[in-house]
Amino acid sequence: MATANKNLSNYDKNTIPNAKDFRFGIVVSEWNDHITNGLYHGAETALLDCGALPKNIIRRNVPGSFELIYAAKQMMKSCDFDVIITIGSVIKGETMHFDFVCQGVTSGIASLNAEGVIPVIFCVLTDNNEQQSIDRSGGIHGNKGTEAAIAAIKMVALDRITS
């Protein structure tokens, strides 16, 4: 396991661009909300720590992870954001539903990135069991929401350099 005994959510604030002027759209799935709220908290905390203004962090909720794609696209069309973070959690069950949702969400978010309007950050946990999700949403393996926030800041900074 790539994250065994390792917290990947630690970052050096001195190496992260200041996010004071960046606008963040965050779409959060309500499915497995005990996980997705932890991911959101990690993302929001990291954004604020890196200078983002609370008024520039806009959260929208959707019923499940599959709906993240539509909401992210709507946020992109509004032109109000520099980056979108999609937060979801899909936990493997007994049917192939897990595979279809994971494939669809991954492909959909990749397609949004290929459109090249603004970056869309993928923060969708696809775990085999609930404990793995807990461990990655503020548990022993850190918080993937934090990592998504740092990626979002770096992508906005990259976009501004190359524009």
Is 141 an annotated catalytic residue?
no
Q: Give Cα separations from 137 to 19, 35, 84 (angstroms).
A: 22, 6, 19
Which residues contact residue 30 at a Cβ distance below 8 angstroms, ignoring those fewer than 6 apart? 36, 61, 62, 63, 64
3-state secondary structure of 8: coil
Identify the active-site residue in 34, 41, 97, 141: 97
Taking alpha carbons only, the member of 158, 155, 21, 31 closest to residue 87 is: 31
Active site (catalytic) residues: 97
